[in-house]
């Protein structure tokens, strides 16, 4: 009898342990970031931030007692690799959601993959076409380039500047920005006198800028991600171009100032508020999240948390809220994401809906200017 009781207790203990182990199985989330390659200035802070936030959530007990397992891969900014890795996350790693990729091109490339598999994607890229038109399983945290264009055009209208030259990079981000620059020009009474492009690997844009210098343009708008815009800034300074130079939010980090050097001074661009968090009023809805993110990133990585890392912060925190409300199935997460309201993150205050999977308005942007190797608010 004693042996029977001992065996029964052992089986009961084993069953309890198995149940606990099953209940504590981690929630697997995938991450695709361009950690190396030309877009590493986007992907590295995004990967770092995503891991930092996941670690903090797990340290605090996880989501309803379950830890998050973040599985990340480096796309190197290559669309073919991004597709391969998205399939790996879904088929091999069995993730319930994916955050990233870092670039518009990579994001557009994997949309058919996540849509077919029914896996929620929260892109960290800016191209408006990622979520326009709305795709069932696709969301994003980076502010739309359409909103960035509106912010620049509003400022030009305020200054009574109506003639511009645009210079855009010939990749997914650049083409999306170019579309928005052209589409919104009439709305703001803007005339585009020069419309030129440059290659992602080009190292000299003197020819395009010389053409612009010979026009009647009152401002130049460059649309791209580093290092190209920094080259444009340096070439413009070398040519003695006197008209204002605007950049896109694609260079919204201290990295741009480092790359452009003295040529960065006076350049303006629309940015998320993280660059000027300390200058925001106390009643700003995002200020607490912004300051917390900046402090945490500094403590973890001995560097400033930036606009791009903020996209990943928002993505992880949006997933956390969605899992808490909708459960850990892909469908439950998707449905909860779509009903997210008034989430004050790093990129802005998000309000998703069945008609809007980007969730932000132009208020997510503030206009900043480089002065003495730092950012200041444009009043």
Q: Which domains occur in the chain, in start order?
A: 26-143+286-362 (3.40.50.2300), 146-271 (3.40.50.2300)
Q: Where are the extended beta strands (E) located within the chain?
A: 27-33, 68-74, 97-99, 121-123, 138-140, 163-169, 191-198, 219-223, 245-247, 268-271, 343-344, 349-350, 366-371, 374-377
The sign one gets for the Cα dihedral 149, 155, 157, 160 is negative
- Provide the 3-class DSSP secondary structure of residue 260: helix
Residue given tokens 């629309």 in the structure block: 270
Task: Confirm if 272 and 252 have CB atoms less than 8 A apart.
Answer: yes
User: End-to-end distance of the chain based on CA atoms, in angstroms?
Assistant: 85
* Whole-angstrom distance, CA of residue 212 vs CA of residue 259: 23
- Those residues of the chain that have pLDDT short of 50 are 4-5, 8, 14-22
DSSP classification of residue 273: G
Burial class (CB in 10 A: 0-12, 13-18, 19+), 89: buried
Apex 146 CA angle, 123 and 76, nearest 5: 35
Return the number of other C-beta atoms located less than 10 Å from residue 363's C-beta: 12
Task: Confirm if 46 and 100 have CB atoms less than 8 A apart.
Answer: yes
Q: How many CA atoms lie within 13 A of 367 on its CB side?
A: 17
pTM score: 0.85
Task: Confirm if 117 and 97 have CB atoms less than 8 A apart.
Answer: no
What are the helix (H) ranges across 223-286? 228-239, 254-260
Which tens digits make up the pLDDT trace of 37-65?
989 989 999 999 999 999 999 999 999 99
Task: Confirm if 239 and 209 have CB atoms less than 8 A apart.
Answer: yes
Predicted pLDDT at 347: 95
Report the run of H or E that residue 325 belongs to, with start and end. Answer: helix 307-326
- Provide the 3-class DSSP secondary structure of residue 157: helix
* Whole-angstrom distance, CA of residue 133 vs CA of residue 320: 25
Inter-helix orientation angle 172-185/145-158, to 10°: 40
- CA-nearest of 123, 89, 101 to 40 is 101
Apex 58 CA angle, 55 and 63, nearest 5: 135
Q: How many CA atoms lie within 13 A of 344 on its CB side?
A: 12
């Amino acid at each position: 009898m004693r042996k029977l009781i001992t065996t029964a207790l052992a089986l009961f203990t084993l069953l309890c342990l198995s149940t606990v182990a099953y209940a504590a199985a981690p929630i697997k989330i995938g991450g695709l970031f361009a950690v190396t390659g030309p877009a590493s200035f986007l992907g590295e802070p995004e990967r770092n931030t995503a891991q930092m936030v996941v670690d903090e959530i797990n340290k605090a007990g996880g989501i309803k007692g379950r830890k998050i397992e973040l599985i990340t891969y480096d796309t190197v900014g290559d669309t073919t690799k991004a597709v391969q890795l998205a399939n790996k996350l879904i088929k091999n790693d069995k993730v319930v959601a994916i955050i990233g990729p870092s670039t518009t091109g990579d994001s557009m490339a994997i949309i058919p993959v996540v849509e077919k598999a029914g896996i929620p994607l929260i892109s960290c890229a800016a191209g408006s076409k990622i979520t326009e038109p709305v795709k069932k399983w696709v969301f994003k945290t980076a502010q739309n380039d359409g909103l960035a264009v509106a912010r620049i055009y509003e400022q030009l209208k305020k200054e009574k500047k109506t003639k511009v030259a645009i210079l855009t990079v010939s990749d997914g981000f650049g083409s999306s920005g170019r579309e928005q620059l052209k589409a919104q020009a009439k709305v703001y009474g803007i005339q585009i006198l020069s419309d030129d492009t440059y290659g992602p690997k080009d190292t000299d844009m003197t020819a395009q800028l010389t053409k612009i210098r010979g026009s009647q343009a009152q401002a130049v708008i460059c649309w791209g991600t580093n290092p190209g815009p920094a080259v444009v800034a340096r070439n413009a300074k070398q040519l003695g171009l006197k008209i204002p130079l605007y950049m896109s939010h694609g260079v919204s980090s201290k990295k741009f100032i480092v790359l452009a050097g003295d040529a960065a001074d006076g350049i303006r661009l629309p940015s998320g508020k993280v660059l000027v968090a300390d200058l925001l009023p106390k009643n700003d809805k995002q200020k607490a999240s912004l300051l917390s993110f900046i402090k945490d990133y500094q403590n973890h990585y001995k560097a400033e948390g930036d606009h791009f890392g903020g996209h990943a912060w928002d993505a992880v925190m949006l997933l956390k809220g969605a899992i808490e409300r909708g459960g850990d199935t892909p469908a439950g997460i998707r449905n909860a994401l779509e009903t997210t309201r008034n989430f004050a993150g790093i990129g802005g205050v998000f309000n998703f809906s069945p008609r809007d999977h980007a969730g932000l308005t132009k208020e997510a942007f503030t206009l900043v200017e480089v002065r003495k190797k730092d950012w200041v608010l444009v009043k």
